[in-house]
Amino acid sequence: RAKLVARPGDPKQGEVEQEDEREHQAGPPAQFTMGMGEDGRLHELLPAADVVVVAAPHTRETRGLIGRPELALMARDAILVNVSRGPLIDEPALVEALRARTIGGAALDVFVDEPLPPDSAFWTLPNVLITPHTSGFRPDHWDAVTALFAENLERFDAGQPLLNVVDKQAGY
């Protein structure tokens, strides 16, 4: 058995603490530190990150969130995962970093241009995993979407506030 730990734990600092014991065949206990790049801490957290997961809305503030400076701060074996929106990543800078192997690899579910063009350099890079923009789906996705639509239709008819309303000022 290995104990998987995410720590240290002051949620106000964008970090969480949790433990989860899981069965594993071999290897020492794995330990994880999870942090969030809020309040300008992204550059502080990147050098120590094994995996950087970008899961943020596309807004004026997040466009180009990961570019050359951020990629240069990442460890040589770090993996960048983007499950949010393509424009949050400077794609030419990412291709350059992947080709030069200044980062270990990338798992990309979203791109600036979708579908990803056949001539995209990402298709040829051996250290890239490409998925077809499905990270937001779950097994009951369509049931949940249909239920939300039906609930909002009833609320609209009754003059009640709708659920999951987009804040057009914030952009999400």
Residue 61 bears catalytic tag: no
Query: At 87, which amino acid appears?
Result: P
Catalytic residue among 38, 114, 141, 154: 114
Residue 58 bears catalytic tag: no
Is 165 in contact with 54 (CB distance < 8 Å)? no
Catalytic residue among 63, 96, 133, 151: 133
Residue 15 bears catalytic tag: no
Is 90 in contact with 64 (CB distance < 8 Å)? yes
* Active site amino acids: 85, 114, 133
